[in-house]
Amino acid sequence: MSNNNRREPSVAIIGAGMTGILAAIKLREAGINDLTILEKADELGGTWRENTYPGVACDVPAHMYTYSFRGNPEWSNRFARGNEIQTYFRQVAEEFGVAGQIRFGEALERSHYVDGKWQLHTSKGNDFSVDFVVAATGILHHPVYPDIKGLDSFQGDMWHTARWNHDVDLAGKRVGIIGTGSTACQVIGDIAEQCGDLTIFQRTPQWIVKVADKDYSETDKASLRGQQGKLTALSKRYAFAMRNTFSAGVTGKKLPLALMSWMAKRNLRKSVRDPALREKLTPDYPVGCKRLIINSTFYDAVQRDNVSLETTGIERITDRGVVTVDGETHELDVLILATGFSPFEFMRPMELKGRNGVDIEDVWGRKVQAYRSVCIPGFPNFFLMLGPNTPIGNYSVIAMSEVQTDYVLKLIEQWRAGTLDEVEATPEAKQRYNDYLKAGMGKTVWVRGCQSWYLDADGDPAMWPYSWNQWVRELEQPDLKDFRPAA
């Protein structure tokens, strides 16, 4: 097809978080300007808009947690705080002309593929059609509330960490927090000193690695301003370290895994003085089986005189507090739910129907799978960003999105050139890909007996079991044999 006959696509981007902003920038750079960006909230930012709890920070080094084409010299800490990350994404969206294109407060409710087009219906009653849909809806954005009897009966203040109530002053109050994952560790480290009493309800202890934070001075920042080359080099150094320690360890490399295990166990041994408390905080599963927590404040906080660690199971919640299975009532003024997110919702609750009316709820009724994490057979010209088996873990999600966005752009280019009438992976290609994933899981640390949000209902990790470099290589060029050929 000649350049004069190239098709110019219309694209809807769903979500204006980190990936949605990136997709908009890259599509425009590729000369695709017919873009509609829908954002359900009244502000961009995704995860960093939603999570404003005390202590919120990224557990990936800040200079690695930026777009490759636009570093940030203004980070105040090695592990950036949530408000600075949100500011960074807002600045990038404005600098690249994306912010003004976003339709805020408008969620995509229905997306149906009819006669080669996606027919969309939004929460504001608007209907329109596009050639492609890019679902940049994120991963951890549907809060999970614990299934505990009497949860709604509590008469004090109660909220999920992703819905933090900043109007409540915790000073001097009896506070309980359910959960000890990465969010809980950040919250506990920040609020322990101000609470009157803080009770931590722990179901499962976590392995924690302490990586020193660092404050960046004005001199540090000034040395990086206007120096994209320096920022890129700094990002690459951190990425190299993360790939060859945490990422390599969880996917089966023995030496990095041994190093991770040594670091976590040494941190616990050196940080917690009381043997009884240390035993309560010692997991019974291998390091890395659950997401490894990088934190330097939790162990200090849990040893404060006003903090208690409760490992007895919760029986029910009453109007006054939490009752554990031993019959003890823990009276509270505030109850905080650090109970995480549902990781397999992706674009839901959107109603998504593909070719011939096939419903995503039927396709994913038992198993959430995709081809290369991005394409779902039966749903042509639909791209799921950060989908199942993206190498989510202790690494930069921005880097993952950049790899996937480049891959998506190459697929759209095949459509523009007429090589593909529709961009749709075949069911056979999806099955081969998921068989390949399953074959690699046996050597990973995720299948060593613990329960975590990494695992689906069958106990299969929705992760990438091979190296980061292998993942990048495999998404470098689309294999057109895996897609429906042009008619």
Does the domain at 3-142+342-482 match CATH 3.50.50.60? Answer given as yes
Phi and psi torsions of 469, nearest 5°: -60, -35
Residue located via tokens 């674009």: 347
Two domains, one topology: 3-142+342-482 and 151-214+221-337: yes
Q: State the Cα–Cα distance between residues 61 and 187, nearest whole angstrom.
A: 19
SS3 per residue for the chain: CCHHHCCCCEEEEECCCHHHHHHHHHHHHCCCCEEEEEECCCCCCCHHHHCCCCCCECCCCHHHCCECCECCCCCCECCCEHHHHHHHHHHHHHHCCCHHHEEECCCEEEEEEECCEEEEEECCCCEEEECEEEECCCCCCCECCCCCCCHHHCCCEEEEHHHCCCCCCCECCEEEEECCCHHHHHHHHHHCCCECEEEEECCCCCCEECCCCCECCHHHHHHHCCCHHHHHHHHHHHHHHHHHHHHHHHCCCHHHHHHHHHHHHHHHHHHCCCHHHHHHCCCCCCCCCCCCEECCCHHHHHCCCCEEEECCCEEEECCCEEEECCCCEEECCEEEECCCECCCCCCCCCEEECHHHCEHHHHCCCCCCCECCCECCCCCCEEECCCCCCCCCCCCHHHHHHHHHHHHHHHHHHHHCCCCCCCCECHHHHHHHHHHHHHHHCCCHHHCCCCCCCECCCCCECCCCCCHHHHHHHCCCCCHHHECCCC
What pLDDT, on a 0 to 100 scale, did the predictor assign at position 447?
Answer: 84
Q: What is the Rg, in whole angstroms, of the alpha carbon atoms belonging to the chain?
A: 23
pLDDT of res. 462: 83
Q: Is 387 exposed, middle or buried (0-12, 13-18, 19+ CB in 10 A)?
A: buried
Domain ranges in the chain are 3-142+342-482, 151-214+221-337
Residue 1, pLDDT score: 47
Candidates 1.10.760.10, 3.40.50.2000, 3.20.20.100, 3.50.50.60; CATH matching 151-214+221-337: 3.50.50.60
- Give the model's pLDDT for residue 344: 75
User: Which two three-digit tokens encode residue 112?
Assistant: 């149906």
* Averages of pLDDT over each 10 residues, the chain, 487 residues: 74 97 98 97 94 95 97 97 97 97 97 97 98 92 90 97 97 97 96 97 96 94 97 95 89 91 97 97 92 94 98 97 97 97 83 96 92 97 95 85 98 96 97 94 84 74 89 96 89
- Are 467 and 248 spatial neighbours (Cβ–Cβ below 8 Å)? yes
Task: Please state, in angstroms and rounded to a whole number, the distance separating the CA atoms of residues 90 and 71.
Answer: 14
How far apart CA 425 and CA 428 sit, in angstroms, is: 8
Q: How far apart are CA 466 and CA 324, in angstroms?
A: 42
Please state, as a whole number, how many other Cβ atoms lie within 10 Å of the Cβ of residue 189.
20
Residues in Cβ contact with 275 at an 8 Å cutoff, skipping those fewer than 6 apart: none
- 386: alpha, beta or left, given left = phi > 0 and alpha = psi -120 to 50? left
Q: What confidence score (pLDDT) does residue 3 get?
A: 57
